[in-house]
Structure 1
Amino acid sequence: MLVTTPAIVISALKYGEADLIAKCYTRSDGLKSYLLRRILKSKKGNLRTAMFQPAMQLEIVANHKNKGTLESIREAKVLHPYQSLHTDITKTSIVLFLSEIIRSSVMEEEENLPLYHFLEHAFLWLDHQERAANFHLLFLLELTKYLGFYPDSSHMDKEQFNLQTGQFEAHPDVYSISPANLSLLKELLKTKFDTLHTLKLNQQSRAAFMDMLLDYYHLHIQGFKKPKSLSVLTNLFN
């Protein structure tokens, strides 16, 4: 079936001498994988390697067989040319890290408009910001809304947060988080991207909260793997 849809590039890996396998989150069908033949050597056609950098937002014309195999893209154009997302080293490192997270956590091959719009607007927002040090923390927390394990904030007055249950509780547990992470979690649950600049964190608290978030993902997503690019991100903010 021939489909025209907006799509956000998640990753692209070299396959053979001249091909790429690109994972994209499409507005029409969720996560899709595409085999881009000869794209690394072709000088003709409208498909270019630069289009398939992580977080690129495209409109594609694709052939979806929906049989669990690699699909194909006939045409593509950039929907939202970024100003800084792939030239600013901090933002580039954040995007690479988040693309790994998405690749390990988003599996559905079906339409999910709220998730698509979240990714679309989050990357556009990041592109237009001067400061981005805490963006990935709020992004990962917000992403859990669409993955099904967003923290239950109905009892935020309680003094413990259980990573396994995703709830605030009165009594400590083996899955309870540290007081510092608890305080930051409560603050982030009330923070929006547009007010993120008010959050002042040092490298130690940022790294500790990130480790806690990754533990949270690991507990709730089968087969979740810690991103290889985490060390790059940690060194960048050190």
Structure 2
Amino acid sequence: MQQKTRAIVLHYLRYGETSMIVTLYTEAFGRMSFMMQGVRGKKSRSKANLLQPLFLLDMEVSYKPGRELQRVKEMRNAVPYNSIPFEIGKSTQAMFLAEILYKVLREEEPRPELFEFLFHSVQYLDLATEGTANFHLVFLLQFARYLGFGPRDNYSEEKPYFDLRNGVFVTMPPPHPDYLMKEESRIFAKLIHVNFDSLETLKLDHKLRDRYLEALLNYFSLHLESTIHIKSLSILRELFS
């Protein structure tokens, strides 16, 4: 069956001398893997350039239910980027977020609202000019909401500790190590309210940015019940330190 779909590049693996196995998050099917033959040849380098982390594609695929590796008939750039491939900060965030999505998104079924969020979030990163050093933090918080475990917005002076395991602010430090201290929780409560349009209002030094990134990765691991190991994390930390 021939099917047109938009897609987001999550991961690729070189296969043989000229081919690649590429994992995409598609609008029509959810997560899918594709065998792309000949894309690394001298005459096809432009196709390989489209398969970078978080690139947005328009595709026509030959879909066969139950087939492990689907086939691509045509693909092209859906939204040409202005800055992500050329700015080291944005390209590093794209690599990091693509790895997060690759580890987390497993369903082979369409989720239109989630796909639209991801598609437009990446476009925003490409076009944004201010506050982008904290983009990945705001993205992870909003992504958690689509996965069903977004943090509850119940911070108050009476509930000044954020419990990572339960996703809520609580009155006393919980009887486990997965929580934020008072001052961390106070700023985290503000972080919850930040969206992409207000990124420039979020002022974090590198220590706080790193602390919240660590906390959010722990938060995802706790709620997904699986530890998330991100290879590109060290590069991201080094860049924004």
TM class by shorter-chain length?
Answer: over 0.9
8 Å CA contact 1:106, 1:147 repeated in 2 = no
Give the 3-state SS of the residue equivalent to 1:188 in structure 2.
Answer: helix
Give the 3-state SS of the residue equivalent to 1:35 in structure 2.
Answer: strand
Q: Which moved more, 1:215-224 or 1:22-31?
A: 215-224
- For residue 180 of structure 1, report the CA deviation from its aligned partner: 3.3
State the partner residue of 2:54.
55
- For residue 130 of structure 1, report the CA deviation from its aligned partner: 2.1
Pair 1:43–1:194, CA change in 2 (3 A): same
8 Å CA contact 2:162, 2:185 repeated in 1 = yes
8 Å CA contact 1:105, 1:224 repeated in 2 = no
- Between the aligned partners of 1:68 and 1:176, the Cα distance in structure 2 is 43
Q: Which moved more, 1:62-71 or 1:101-110?
A: 62-71
- For residue 81 of structure 1, report the CA deviation from its aligned partner: 0.3
Check if 1:120 corresponds to 2:119. Answer: yes
Q: Which moved more, 1:126-135 or 1:195-204?
A: 126-135
Check if 1:232 corresponds to 2:235. Answer: yes
- For residue 197 of structure 1, report the CA deviation from its aligned partner: 0.3
The aligned runs of 1:165-204 (5 Å cut-off) are: 165-173=166-174, 174=176, 175-204=178-207
State the partner residue of 1:32.
32
Letter of the 1:148 partner, please give it.
G
Which of 186, 208, 212 lines up with 2:211 in the alignment?
208
Check if 1:221 corresponds to 2:228. Answer: no
- Between the aligned partners of 1:179 and 1:159, the Cα distance in structure 2 is 5
State the partner residue of 2:70.
71
Q: Normalised by the size of structure 1, how large is the TM-score? A: 0.94
8 Å CA contact 2:160, 2:186 repeated in 1 = no
Give the 3-state SS of the residue equivalent to 1:189 in structure 2.
Answer: helix
- Between the aligned partners of 1:194 and 1:10, the Cα distance in structure 2 is 25
Percent of pairs identical after alignment?
33
- For residue 177 of structure 1, report the CA deviation from its aligned partner: 1.6
- Between the aligned partners of 2:227 and 2:65, the Cα distance in structure 1 is 25
Give the 3-state SS of the residue equivalent to 2:32 in structure 1.
Answer: strand
- Between the aligned partners of 2:67 and 2:138, the Cα distance in structure 1 is 32
The aligned runs of 1:3-152 (5 Å cut-off) are: 3-41=3-41, 43=43, 48-67=47-66, 69-131=68-130, 132-152=132-152
Letter of the 1:115 partner, please give it.
L
8 Å CA contact 2:6, 2:26 repeated in 1 = yes
Deviations, residues 135-161 of structure 1 (Å, cap 9, x unaligned): 0000011110111211122x2222122
Q: Which moved more, 1:13-22 or 1:108-117?
A: 13-22
Q: Which runs of no fewer than 5 residues in structure 1 stay unpaired?
A: none
- Between the aligned partners of 2:14 and 2:160, the Cα distance in structure 1 is 48
Letter of the 2:9 partner, please give it.
V
Root-mean-square deviation (Å): 1.6
Q: Which runs of no fewer than 5 residues in structure 2 stay unpaired?
A: none
Q: Which runs of 4+ in 1 moved over 6 A?
A: none
- Between the aligned partners of 2:182 and 2:124, the Cα distance in structure 1 is 30
- Between the aligned partners of 1:146 and 1:214, the Cα distance in structure 2 is 16
- For residue 47 of structure 1, report the CA deviation from its aligned partner: 7.1
8 Å CA contact 1:104, 1:224 repeated in 2 = no
Q: Normalised by the size of structure 2, how large is the TM-score? A: 0.93
